[in-house]
Amino acid sequence: MTFDAAQALRLAQETFDIEAAAILGLKARVGSAFAQAVQHMLVCSGRVVVMGIGKSGHIGRKIAATLASTGTPALFVNSAEASHGDLGMVQPGDVVLAMSYSGETDELSALLPALKRLGIPLIAMTGRVQSTLAQHAHIVLDTGVEKEACPLNLAPTASTTAQLALGDALAVALLDARGFKAEDFARSHPGGALGRKLLTHVRDVMRTGAAVPRVSAQTPFGDLMREMSAKGLGASAIVDDNNRVLGIFTDGDLRRLIENGADLRQRTAADVMHTDPRTLRDDALAVEAAQLMEQHRITSVLVLDAQGRLCGALNTNDLLRAKVI
């Protein structure tokens, strides 16, 4: 067996061309049947049950996952397993999306009478619009392709690409019709990066209580420095008797004072603080804190409660630990 690198590259390019043509072919055929399929899935009171076997089954599993993660309740049922009990997963109110390129898959064909008795709307995704599956379906989505990318024209390649693209198109149309937003996506992906960014609030990651460095305006400079060192935030809030923020003093402020040769021994916190510091509400998203720090090139921010009192603080390290940035 010899390896021909040039032949491999040629076949790769041909595969891309053939599969791209298969997807563009869908664009020319999509029409009222597609809109009807979206409408059925949108108004169904149950779930979209995606069925298939073999390569169509693998694509079907992905389509079900995409639908579920974008606001359309969905599950995948293997056609063969459905004949041995898993058909019980299909309930009145569901919609079935049955996938078979040939439309003659024995395992799927065997389920058609049972689905009809249940009165379940059946959407067929098939490459043969005159097949048994298509004839029993309420709606037929044509995924026919001119040829497979496989040089033998046998292995499902372009046909499964077309199925996948059509499934994505259904999910996108449904997502839009439902008014599905990034926040909704995050709620179904709480463990992902987007979920952390859109669901994590400042109050979830901020330092609270005694961990928040704060001093009064009359605090001597030495005590201010001790408070900053003990709390490790790189800054300290200066507050009044009602815990309202008067100002902030940071490591950067200290560095600038030293560079200017200031005599700090007799200074108080009020003398060295700068007023009107950057603050956030505790109910703000943590990603907003990250954006605020980046925009103003600061490394820490003070957090206020609904009454405008100091209730927390956080820095970039806190956001890194929470994997918000």
State pLDDT tens for residues 25-68.
Answer: 999 889 999 999 999 999 999 999 999 999 999 999 999 999 99
State pLDDT tens for residues 155-182.
Answer: 899 999 999 999 999 999 999 998 877 6
- Output helix, strand, coil percentages for the chain, rounded to the nearest 5: 50, 20, 30
- pTM of this prediction? 0.66
Reported as a pLDDT band with limits 50, 70 and 90, residue 195 is: low
User: What sections of the chain are H helices per DSSP?
Assistant: 5-29, 32-43, 54-69, 79-82, 106-109, 112-118, 132-136, 158-178, 182-187, 193-199, 202-205, 221-231, 251-259, 269-272, 286-296, 316-321
Closest CA to 234 of 247, 246, 250, 223: 250
Specify the pLDDT at position 124: 96
Comparing 13-17, 203-207, 319-323, the range with the smallest average pLDDT is: 319-323
Is residue 151 pLDDT above 70, yes or no? Answer: yes
Task: Please give the domain boundaries of the chain with CATH numbers for all domains.
Answer: 5-180 (3.40.50.10490), 202-321 (3.10.580.10)
Reported as a pLDDT band with limits 50, 70 and 90, residue 239 is: very high
How large is the average pLDDT for residues 217-225? 93
Is residue 111 pLDDT above 70, yes or no? Answer: yes
Is residue 257 pLDDT above 90, yes or no? Answer: no
Is residue 101 pLDDT above 70, yes or no? Answer: yes
Is residue 70 pLDDT above 90, yes or no? Answer: no
For 178, phi then psi, to 5°, come to: -85, -10
Residue-averaged pLDDT of the chain:
90
Reported as a pLDDT band with limits 50, 70 and 90, residue 263 is: confident
For residues 281 and 133, give the distance between their C-alpha atoms in angstroms, rounded to a whole number.
57
Specify the pLDDT at position 174: 93
